[in-house]
Amino acid sequence: MIYVGIDTGRDTGLAVWDSGRRVFRAIETVRIHRAIETVRALERANPGRVRVVFEDARKRRFFQRERTEAEYRGHLMGAGSVKRDATIWEDALTDYGIPFEATPPRRGLTKWDATAFQRATGWTGRTSNHARDAALLVFGR
């Protein structure tokens, strides 16, 4: 099975985990349309063997400290954007018939630094926060 982790947002984290070989095929940051194209290409090349796991901010259950008014306004704009992206992913994957799991953000499984990520996964390539978050959604499945 090939698992694709997606960290939604303006900069979309994308990670491709091959569960048979127990390795990442890719970990990168791309725009949403490129990520959707990548998932479709993987499904065409591996029919019935691709499953997408994306972080769905609509299911968030924890909240951070009190914010200043400016921080709060910026957070609301970002939150609306990632919620919209989750809807886009759900709609696209449903339309293309690609199985998916929409998972809520999980405290402790996001925002790892590059050193901790490399130590845990063995991945030595460059990564962004978004790419690492996507990878943590599918690592070890």
For residue 54, which of 92, 89, 18, 95 has the smallest C-alpha distance?
89
What domains lie within the chain, and their CATH numbers?
Answer: 2-138 (3.30.420)
> According to DSSP H, which parts of 46-123 are helical?
69-96, 114-121
Q: Are 121 and 139 in contact (CB under 8 A)?
A: yes
The pLDDT, as a whole number, for residue 5 is 98
Tokens 């449903």 found at: 94
Please tell me the distance from the alpha carbon of residue 131 to that of residue 64, in angstroms, as a whole number: 22
Q: Which residue has the tokens 């694709």?
A: 4
**Surface-to-core class of residue 90, CB atoms within 10 Å of its CB (0-12 exposed, 13-18 middle, 19+ buried):** middle
pTM passes above 0.75? yes
Question: In this predicted model, what pLDDT tens digit does every residue of 69-102 receive, in sequence order?
Answer: 555 444 444 455 778 999 999 999 999 999 999 9
First to last CA, the chain: 9
Distance between CA 80 and CA 103 in Å, rounded? 17
Q: Which residue has the tokens 């091959």?
A: 18
pLDDT tens per residue, range 32-54: 999 999 999 999 999 999 999 99
